[in-house]
Amino acid sequence: MSLTDLPASRTENGSAVIRVLSYNVRSMRDDNAALARVIRACDPDLVLVQEAPRFFRWRKAAARLAAASELVVLSGGATAAGPLLLCSLRATVERTEDVLLPLTPGLHRRGFATAVVRFGGARLGVLSCHLSLRADERHEQAGMLLDRLAAMDVPHAVAGGDLNDRPDGRAFGALAGGLQDCWAVRPWGTEHTSTPADPRQRIDAIFATPGVEVLGCGVPTGLAGVERADLVAATDHLPVLAALRVPVDTAAAPLS
């Protein structure tokens, strides 16, 4: 699939084609104008952020990023230990929940930013994560992620983030065993996400539950409006962009 073939967002007989972006923003310590330009060029409906600001005036920083990206804050940030969700005005928000994971003494606190949203008649669980640097804890957190998606009680879900793990790792493998690894299903763009100046490894990914159709997924290098200089300046990871077709939820009650 060429870069120009990634489908645009739309609704089709109640189902929805949406764009989901996963992006580690390194606490917005780099070029925030470049970061916003990359996000806008990807035209996402949902942004799964990792390493959002967590300390002084973190809510204002999240609001600035959302506004500069022409999006709104959905959930997360310091209350999820870094993961953050942004969304477009296409999304109808049903509920949100920030989840703090068990703390291992001496290690960084981790969490999930989660939400359930609707696009037309399509209902979708959403989760942003940033897994541990330590292999055993990372594998446990992957299991918690799968459990959390199951507990959302929605027919379809998407999860993504900085896994701190490669596709041959245990945590990555656990997620790919229970979900669709969107890059592996339908690769688009390029694969490696770290580091922007010399990408050699895929440690960031987007996953979807089996009923979601993956239309394309990868790093949007070469996408119109996404400049290499901006990718290098924005943060220390490359983003992952996926186009997904989410079926209509026939069991859901209509919104009043």
Write out pLDDT tens, residues 66-113. 999 999 999 999 999 999 999 999 999 999 999 999 999 989 999 999
Residue whose pair of structure tokens reads 């330009």 in the numeric block: 37
pLDDT reading at 128 higher than 50: yes
Q: What is the pLDDT of residue 43?
A: 97
Burial code of 52-84, b = ≥16 C-beta within 10 A, e = fewer? Answer: bbbeeebeebbeebbeebebebbbbbbbbbbbb
Residue 256 confidence class, pLDDT cut points 50, 70, 90: very low
Nearest Cα to Cα of residue 215 among 177, 184, 245 = 245
Write out pLDDT tens, residues 165-179. 999 999 999 999 999
Residue 2 confidence class, pLDDT cut points 50, 70, 90: low
Q: Could you tell me the domains of the chain?
A: 3-246 (3.60.10.10)
Residues 178 and 163: their CA atoms lie apart, in Å, by 15
Write out pLDDT tens, residues 205-228. 999 999 999 999 999 998 999 999
Q: What is the pLDDT of residue 86?
A: 98
Q: What is the pLDDT of residue 158?
A: 98
DSSP 27-71: GG-S-HHHHHHHHHHH--SEEEEES---STTHHHHHHHHHHHTT-
Q: How is residue 134 written in tokens?
A: 């330590």
Nearest Cα to Cα of residue 47 among 15, 14, 25 = 25
